[in-house]
Structure 1
Amino acid sequence: MLDAATKALSQMFSGPMRAILWKAIGLSLVLIVVVGIALQRLLTWFATSGEVWLEASVGPSYHAAINALAWVLSIAASLGIVFGAVFLMPAITSFVASFFVDDIADLVEREHYPAEHAGHALPIGVALTEGTKTALLTVLVYLIALPFVFLAGAGFIVFFIATAWLLGREYFELAAMRFRSPAEAKALRKQNGAMVFVAGLFIAAFVSIPIVNLATPLFGMAFMVHVHKLMSGPRPELIEPGRVRTPVA
């Protein structure tokens, strides 16, 4: 597992990977700004008009509590972009990864497994569907875990474990689906649930590092290509006729 992580990290800064890296970073930054602005607008509404609506709904007896909530939300609104970038980064990188799945995986396979069967490109619809599902599920899980943040930091542990589980399953299934049907990829992931979760911990640690986490799609996908190969074993007999696999310089 450590060897797979080392290989993924070392290849991230190769020439071909750098081209993908800049595209992934650019798309991530655009999404962060859009989501941050939307979040800031939403929190601002809650801190102003939402306060009146909420008090009218629950009654004047909760006036003090609603005022306190509005004060907290007004502060959060001013930090909307920052909060959105931190809180939603795993979801954003999950979605961004959908666009670069095959580019990343193909480079890893050519560099490290030139004698083996080349994976088949995923239809963009399948990749986007998987990325969107994971992104939405990540937001849902985080919203459920958010109240625990105020309980001695328990929420951060929940966040980390949830991130490991969610990103681990997404990147592994995307890597596996280049060689298997979606049903087979999911079955393999379930059969090796513990290993996939441990691999997900590496990705969760990576995505928790500010700025560096913009490269999560590259690390996560490259890493899981190695993990899938580790589970499947070498299969040089499956090399595609007529296709030459050469290492990337």
Structure 2
Amino acid sequence: MLYESAAAALRHTLSPALRGILWKSLGLTLGILLFAWFGLTRLIQWFQTSHHISAQYPILDTVAYYLAGFGLFVALAYLMPAISILVAGFFLDYAAEIVERTDFPADPPGQAMPYGLAMVYAVRFAGLTLLVNLVALAIFFIPLVGVAAFFGANAYLLSREYFEMAAARFRPLPEAAEMRRSHAARTLLAGCLLAGLMVVPVVNLVTPLFGIALMVHLHKRLSGRRPQLRQPGTLAPPLPPR
């Protein structure tokens, strides 16, 4: 079931129908990452200047330069899951609707959550993910423990966020959460896949869109639905204008 859902999600992520959303998602993600990079580099420069590190210990300035570069790379890697969840809040419903209409045309499409509620939900989860990853970052240098904490925490958080947001298009949020718990093994395995993609440079930039498509398919399959194959060249029913 997970293999079929992942294959369908990959097909959708690279499809012309989602290409516009893909570029918007990439642009927003890169914008947030650049903003975070700018803020962290300025913070490091301020710390060095305010503590007169360069003047007192010139050699430490060079060492700090390379350590800062490595540290920023690690820090941004730990920020990616939270950024992914925040980005998903902007594009989830429209991307989910495309997947539903393309692969499940006989089923009525889901109902989007009110935009304000969807963003509150996304921001809340992004904040929780950021907090959890800051804790994981604090224990990064403990052998194995830091990596295991990062992977395990994000597998759970990503599976919870994406599945519940996809399921909430068809059922109340408490019922969506209960469905996730009832299928915890499968949803968590999907979360492990997403957490693994998060640590792959460049690939992690398309993870939000892939995660949306993946969980739409997984939710449908767990609900007893199967995608309907189309003949080559056949178009999906048109979407309402956005």
Shorter chain as denominator, the TM-score bin is 0.7 to 0.9
The aligned residue for residue 153 of structure 1 is 144
Structure 1 residues 143 and 114, CA gap change in structure 2 (3 angstroms)? same
1:72 positional shift:
7.9
Letter matched to residue 13 of structure 2 = M
1:130 positional shift:
1.9
Structure 1 residues 45 and 76, CA gap change in structure 2 (3 angstroms)? farther
Contact 1:37 1:80 in 2 (8 A): no
Within 5 Å, which residues of 2 pair with 1:35-50? 35-49=36-50
Within 5 Å, which residues of 2 pair with 1:27-176? 27-49=28-50, 75-78=66-69, 82-176=73-167
The aligned residue for residue 13 of structure 1 is 14
The aligned residue for residue 26 of structure 2 is 25
Contact 1:36 1:81 in 2 (8 A): yes
The aligned residue for residue 61 of structure 1 is none
Letter matched to residue 195 of structure 1 = R
Contact 2:37 2:72 in 1 (8 A): yes
Contact 1:32 1:81 in 2 (8 A): no
Contact 2:78 2:137 in 1 (8 A): no
Percent of aligned pairs with the same residue? 43
In 2, the alpha carbon distance for the partners of 1:247 and 1:156 equals 44
In 1, the alpha carbon distance for the partners of 2:64 and 2:181 equals 40
The aligned residue for residue 241 of structure 1 is none
Aligned length: 224
Contact 2:75 2:137 in 1 (8 A): no
1:232 positional shift:
1.4
Contact 1:134 1:170 in 2 (8 A): yes
Name the Cα RMSD after superposition.
Answer: 2.7
1:26 positional shift:
0.5
In 1, the alpha carbon distance for the partners of 2:125 and 2:79 equals 12
Query: Normalising by structure 1, what TM-score?
Result: 0.80
Query: Normalising by structure 2, what TM-score?
Result: 0.82
Classify the secondary structure of the residue corresponding to 2:31. helix
In 2, the alpha carbon distance for the partners of 1:247 and 1:36 equals 40
Classify the secondary structure of the residue corresponding to 2:107. coil
Contact 1:172 1:189 in 2 (8 A): yes
Contact 1:101 1:127 in 2 (8 A): no
In 2, the alpha carbon distance for the partners of 1:51 and 1:162 equals 38
Classify the secondary structure of the residue corresponding to 1:150. coil
In 1, the alpha carbon distance for the partners of 2:52 and 2:128 equals 28
In 1, the alpha carbon distance for the partners of 2:181 and 2:87 equals 24
Structure 2, unaligned runs of 5 or more: 54-59, 227-235
Are 1:192 and 2:183 counterparts?
yes
In 1, the alpha carbon distance for the partners of 2:153 and 2:63 equals 26
In 2, the alpha carbon distance for the partners of 1:157 and 1:38 equals 28
* Higher relative contact order (CA closer than 8 Å, sequence separation 6+): 2
Structure 1, unaligned runs of 5 or more: 53-67, 236-244
The aligned residue for residue 221 of structure 2 is 230
Classify the secondary structure of the residue corresponding to 2:140. helix
In 2, the alpha carbon distance for the partners of 1:220 and 1:191 equals 20
